[in-house]
Amino acid sequence: MSSPNTSKLSSNETDPVISQDANLHMDLHVTTSNLSLGSEPLAPHSPSTPLLLDSFKIGDVEIQPKQVPDWSNLKVIHRNTLPPRSHFHLYNTEDDALSGDVSRSRAALLSGTWGFELSPGPFKGSRDFYKSDFDHSEWKLIKVPGMWQLQGFGKGPQYTNVNFPFPVDPPHVPYDDNECGRYITRFTVPDTLKDGDQWRLRFEGVDAAFTLWVNGQEVGYSQGSRNPSEFDVSSFLNLDSENVLCVEVYQRCDGSYIEDQDQWWLSGIFRDIWLHSFTSVCFEDIHVRTNLSDSFDSAWLEVDVKLNTVGETTLTTKLLDDEGKELISASRTAQSYGSPCEYRYRVENPEKWTAETPYLYTLVLSVGSVYVTQKVGFRRAELIDGVFCVNGSPIKIRGVNRHEHKPQSGRTVPYADLKWDLQLMKAFNINAIRTSHYPNDPRLYDLADQMGFWVVDEADLECHGFIEVGGDPASFTSNHPEWREAYVDRAVQLVQRDKNHPSVIMWSLGNEAFYGSNHQAMYDIIKSIDTTRLIHYEGDQDAQTADIFSRMYTPVDEMIKYAEEKNWKKPFVMCEYAHAMGNGPGAVEEYIEAFYKYPRLMGGFVWEWANHGLSTQSKDGDDYFGYGGDFQPDEPNDGNFVMDGLCDSTHAPGPGLDEYSKAIEPVQVLGIKGTAITIVNRYDFVTLDHLRCFWELISDRQQVIGKEIFIPAGIKPHTKATIVLGGMPKTLSTDAWLQLEFVARAGSKWVPAGKVVARSQIPLTPPRTLALLRTPTTPGRPRIQRRDDMLYVTIAKGATFGFDTGNGTLSSLTHTSKPDHNLITVPVALDFYRALTDNDRGGHGQEWVEKRLHQTRSHFSQMTTTETESGCTIVVKARVAPPVLAWGVDTTTTYTLTPDHCSVRVQARPHGPHLPATFARFGLSLGLRDLNIVQWFGRGPGESYADRKRAQMVNTWGWSADALFHHYEFPQDSGNRADVRWVELRTRWGGGAEYPDRLLRARFGEHEGASFSVAPFTTRDVDECRHPYELVKRKRDDHIVRLDWYHHGLGTGSCGPWTLPEYQLKTDREFDVEVLLD
């Protein structure tokens, strides 16, 4: 069907009619061969006129399309694009150039609101929309840059991790299932740009391919979604009247086979579009290198300049320091004959650029009437005896993988959001970024240069989906000679755009594209352009081509085996590790400690920086962040695997980021002996002279502010030192902790004054034991009553514990001031299960579900009550077991009630066939009403688990009961607080230690590993819900309280190692534990 905007039959033409007695003959020929790739390229925009049957004669043949479209033709990557160049703007004056304000440059930004039409395929809709007489008045509007699926157009977003969302037939994509977005905008050339000699349209990013027209004339075609495309539009442009710019964007092209990154499939013009005005004599390209001497006390500044003119002209060069002082000022004759002009300038004792000291010079170049500036950082990246070094010193990468993402706009990320990401990374001690898995917005690299980050810049290349197809996955593209040009193009685009950024210390050939000859071709072309950087590619497992060994998600012990190999010549990096999906990652510290122990290990990049949730609403209007499966129809999809970041979808820091930041702090405290404290400087280049250290004493409900500790001057990077503690009290209370804070001094050049860069705690004294806590303090004995099927025991403070003699449970807690008000809503029970985390689902949680850990309940067998002079003892024997299976846990629970407390001792023996190898937890669960506030002494204020707790400091904390549960964007267990000595469940802040202020207190004494959680949801609620808004609707009036003696660690089983053995709650043991309730 024709769209309303396509040409129609004129009034004097007759609609074709086929008579009933006509004889029709159709020959149908089906073949498995495709249209020849050798055909001349044809974009799918050929003028379309209505088909008139009377214009054909018998025997005529009509074939559509006449030739292979550009977007399905492997031999067409670009048409009429200009050669790739470094990213720069031209300016009319030096002051404008030094401002760095692109609005003052010789360029006009064309982004804004455009007209838009979406058709289901390139051969549908308004195919002649680019014509000058086409009426676009009824078209809808769209924001540019932006992704059309997130602006109400098309089938909606689709997420896959590995799979191609279309039939696999490389290089072809479906002709009839390939949405086509047609864009229209009008603009006039600003007066300030009219004095040019060449005008260029530069598209910074279009997903996945596009054809361009200006004023009704076709300009060209390009693909490579995350790479720029630049066209000379001089001959098409009207300088003194309005111009019409039309762009046809194809959702898929042959390049989509090598753009199969783990992210949303989204389409459109998603980065800015610029109109550049180049003068008759100006720069085509600039390549800046800083060649530092072996002693690093001098350097050659090497500048290669390619001009757009042939012949002689004058090139002026200035180099300014960060205060604007001129260090170099030179004018030279440039003799350009189509190749770059090379210039060298000597610089003595330059300030070196590092991620810790990002000192930038400014290079000012001028030729003819135009100026350009380029930030310059003097640094040298290389291997020294196989160790990765910058400026002669080993560095450790404390990095993250970063996708481009904003929940409202997908891969269209405003500058403020880019800057927020990097500011947050800096605040959390991150020093490196891997641009997974494509070149990022060019403005990110400017920020990385200024703020100080090591950047591994990755080519826009991944074809992971071929692993699902069968056969040799590398044979489809990576090792296929016909794809070589496509691979090489992506390498060239990457390097040419970003080659002048000091933050870029390494190139990457892409991700999860297996390994083949085309990677060698990429390597070779990169080295021909840039010899100053190493090249990374994880898919080259044996580092045949790559300059370093790289791995993903390798367990710590296996990584250490690589580190301990003999005679290694290439370093080792974890390009992805510590998969930060949901509640996790666990056991990050083990990786970090290994990185610093072994010279071969460069460090690594956590996967990944932030969740990719997209803003959406439920049918009832509930706001939430959607993932795969939330935008039907979107089959296939990979569910919530896209929610795997240290930050949530708004890029707010999550609990995992706290833990990672703690593990990579630049100052670590190793131990204490007497008053001597051993620390280590984990900066790569700076001493600790910019820091001050202060101590505090932390104990139960006490915090003593101490004094400053002197830090010796000149502590070199990666070395240990001793600081001496002074002014400590002569006597310390039980369970006392020394807390040290390292704070940036005023006047620190690279760290904001007052910033706490590291915080550590050291235990000084042991806690009070349960034996001590059990010591009687109240004379007499508790009051014991029997009523109906219940046994009630009232202790001195008025709390009455009620036991059901029919099943042996502690099912009642009242107070003498309100005897009919039972605080317990769910009886106390021994529990081994937690709501599954994402890491549980990929790890031990599979067995928990299979072995029905979530279905266990206690089966009472005997209850014995003995009254004593000091109170009474209740012994309950039971078996905790699931249905169907024969494994169980034999338990003896002894309640000892005195005037002071109710002691709960649990002795348990797991046994039986198919016993799970681990439990999620071992503790008590109960429901409690009237609970509003929770206070505790232990780790806080945030959540903590056995293998993710170092970021949380031991202190006395208080929190709203409802706020303890952390709402991950995919509901799962959360809110645990580890290393707890006691916890109080209260109705309000302050007040006394008795009812109604305090409902219940639990004390664990010296037991190591105790924890608790409080949430207004049951475990089943959490397991069944898929989004936070669903869970919130199940919020209870009471709270589920869990008091655990042991809790299984988190691990990274969603994609990586399961919970490490030392953090597992194993069942091949007997348990004997106790807690005091009052």
Whether residue 435 contacts residue 501, with contact meaning beta carbons closer than 8 Å, is answered with no
Q: Which residues contact 333 (CB under 8 A, 6 or more apart)?
A: 312, 313, 314, 315
Give DSSP secondary structure letters for 557-600: HHHHHHHT-SS--S-EEEEEES---SS----HHHHHHHHHH-TT
Rg over CA atoms, the chain: 34
Vertex 552 angle, CA 550 and 557, to 5°: 90
699 CB burial (10 A radius; 0-12, 13-18, 19+): buried
Whether residue 455 contacts residue 504, with contact meaning beta carbons closer than 8 Å, is answered with yes
Vertex 536 angle, CA 530 and 540, to 5°: 125
Integer CA distances (angstroms), 958 to 237, 922, 965, in order: 67, 24, 14
Q: What CA–CA distance (Å, rounded) separates 592 from 570?
A: 20
Q: How far is CA 704 from the centre of its chain?
A: 38
Q: What CA–CA distance (Å, rounded) separates 544 from 26?
A: 56
| Helix (H) or strand (E) segment spanning residue 210 | strand 209-214
Q: What CA–CA distance (Å, rounded) separates 1056 from 1031?
A: 28
Q: Which residues contact 888 (CB under 8 A, 6 or more apart)?
A: 879, 880, 881, 910, 911, 912
> Residue 18: left (phi > 0), alpha (psi -120 to 50), or beta?
beta
- Return the amino acid letter for 135: D
Residue 196: half-sphere exposure toward Cβ, Cα within 13 Å: 30
Q: Which long-range contacts (CB under 8 A, 24 or more apart) does 551-554 make?
A: 551/575, 552/576, 552/577, 552/607, 553/577, 553/579, 553/607, 553/1052, 553/1055, 553/1056, 553/1057
Whether residue 237 contacts residue 92, with contact meaning beta carbons closer than 8 Å, is answered with no
What is residue 345's three-state secondary structure? Answer: strand
Nearest residue to 1031 (alpha-carbon basis) of 1041, 1020, 1022, 1040: 1022
Whether residue 270 contacts residue 206, with contact meaning beta carbons closer than 8 Å, is answered with yes
Residue 374: half-sphere exposure toward Cβ, Cα within 13 Å: 28
Cα dihedral sign, 937-942-948-949: negative
Terminal Cα distance for the chain, rounded: 78
The token pair that represents 1007 in the structure block = 């037991």
Q: What CA–CA distance (Å, rounded) separates 623 from 621?
A: 6
Catalytic machinery residues: 512, 576
- Return the amino acid letter for 312: E
Q: Give the relative orientation of helices 517-529 and 484-498 as an angle to the nearest 10 degrees.
A: 30
Q: Which residues contact 1060 (CB under 8 A, 6 or more apart)?
A: 556, 586, 587, 590, 947, 1049, 1051
